[in-house]
Amino acid sequence: MDQYQSDYRLIGFLLLENIIPVVLLAATPRGSVLRYLAIPCMIWIVSLLLYPVQRPSYLSVNGLGGSVCCVFSALDFLLINPKDGRNFVDADGKPKGFFSRLVDASRLFTSPRAFGTPRQAKNTPSLPAYYAEKDPNKISRARYLTREIPIAIWQYFVLDILTMLAVKDAMNQKESGMVAVSGIQWDLTAEQWVSRAISNLFGWFIASRILIGFYCRVVAIIFVACGLSSPSECPPMFSTMADSYTLRNFWGKFWHQMLRLPFTAASNFITRDVLGLPKPSVVERYFNVFLVFFFSGLLHALSDVLRSISLQESGAMFFFLSFVLGYMIEDGVTALWKRTQGTQTTGGPPPLWQRAIGFCWVMGWLTVTSTLYFGPATARPECQLELVPFSVAGSTSLPVLSSILLVSGIALKMILKVEI
């Protein structure tokens, strides 16, 4: 086939990947042979998607990532913790019709955090404090849309500028003869390390947060506006940055938790049911951590292929698996501290000075390990993601637009109480 796959081919396979498990969940009983055959079929579809697209966008790359996640969700709902028609009943306990079961099955696969259900992912952020001023359980549609739409518009313009700057920077590096980083550079000056730390701080805590939050916010706005969801069913994607004073908190509290349920279902099945590791135990604990980060690294490495970054070039696997070692170091230091200082359980966060040290630790780890992850795309314009469908910033003065976004961002923070 051609060097690049068409967008229509990509969309077609992505739709098929999501339709198969939904139909099987609604139509087949537990233990059906079709369910077992579906998993290798879905993996085969993922393999058909592993070709670059000519203009990689966040939607296309995220779509491939979503198809990988869909395989894990199918494993969970079809085989590991199987559900069937008996799980889809109405208020009177009577089985629902096939179409209603399809709708409910679709909700399961499109609600990875399972918000508001007994399965809700741990540490899913609560509704913003802005809504708590009144009854958070009775948020009007107008109040929700009045807050979320301006935030989404602001995020769109920020992403538009970030796309333009990333492509421009990559082209400058390419013209100057710079190549993608193939390893971790240790011989950097103090200024270079500080610059890299600031870059990673912006990338992980601001750019990625805005990018993921924007698209999920748009979906929530559409669903709430159409009456398909209530505002109380649409929590924010991220928690506050203040939680990120440990690596565990960075991924387990601050980050979006979209992958927690499908990945932990697979890892628990392997460690407890297949290997029979005792729970709780140190081996079971860290092997679970290893598997979850392995799955995450695999998902992001496969997504890199759409950006013309081969599996051999991608640093996603190294980056995510490095956190297994990071967790071990962090847990060891924490245990040593408690042993030497005595256990002091206050029920709240640690003192400010401890959180400050912890935040520096998190940023240091991200600064070192992110190099291999971001490096392959840094100096290659063709690998830059189109973060938004169409650009507005290109026809506007960048300094003027940046100033407007800065002022409006402060206004959104003050008026709508946007959490940082």
Q: What do you get for the CA distance between the two ends of the chain, in Å?
A: 46
Residue 22 domain boundaries:
1-110
Q: Please give the distance of CA 296 from its chain centroid, rounded to a whole number.
A: 9
Assigned domain for 103 exists: yes
Same domain, 42 and 156: no
Same domain, 145 and 51: no
Question: What's the pLDDT at 117?
Answer: 87
Ranges of residues in the chain with a pLDDT under 50 are: 1, 181
Assigned domain for 376 exists: yes
Same domain, 189 and 308: yes
Assigned domain for 117 exists: no
Same domain, 69 and 180: no
Contacts of residue 106, Cβ cutoff 8 Å, sequence gap at least 6: 22
Same domain, 163 and 277: yes
Same domain, 133 and 180: yes
Assigned domain for 380 exists: yes
Question: What's the pLDDT at 244?
Answer: 94
Question: What's the pLDDT at 38?
Answer: 96
Assigned domain for 356 exists: yes
Assigned domain for 221 exists: yes
Asked which of 50, 85, 110 is the last residue of a domain, the reply is 110
Question: What's the pLDDT at 340?
Answer: 87
Same domain, 172 and 303: yes
Same domain, 95 and 138: no
Assigned domain for 118 exists: no
Question: What's the pLDDT at 75?
Answer: 96
Question: What's the pLDDT at 232?
Answer: 87
Same domain, 145 and 25: no
Return mean pLDDT, the chain. 88
Same domain, 320 and 380: yes
Same domain, 177 and 273: yes
Q: Which of 68, 42, 49 is nearest to 299 (CA)?
A: 68
Amino acid identity, position 355:
R
Same domain, 180 and 259: yes
Asked which of 110, 135, 165 is the last residue of a domain, the reply is 110
Asked which of 110, 138, 168 is the last residue of a domain, the reply is 110
| 277-286: burial string, b at 16+ Cβ within 10 Å, e else | beeeeeebeb
Tally the domains of the chain. 2
Assigned domain for 313 exists: yes
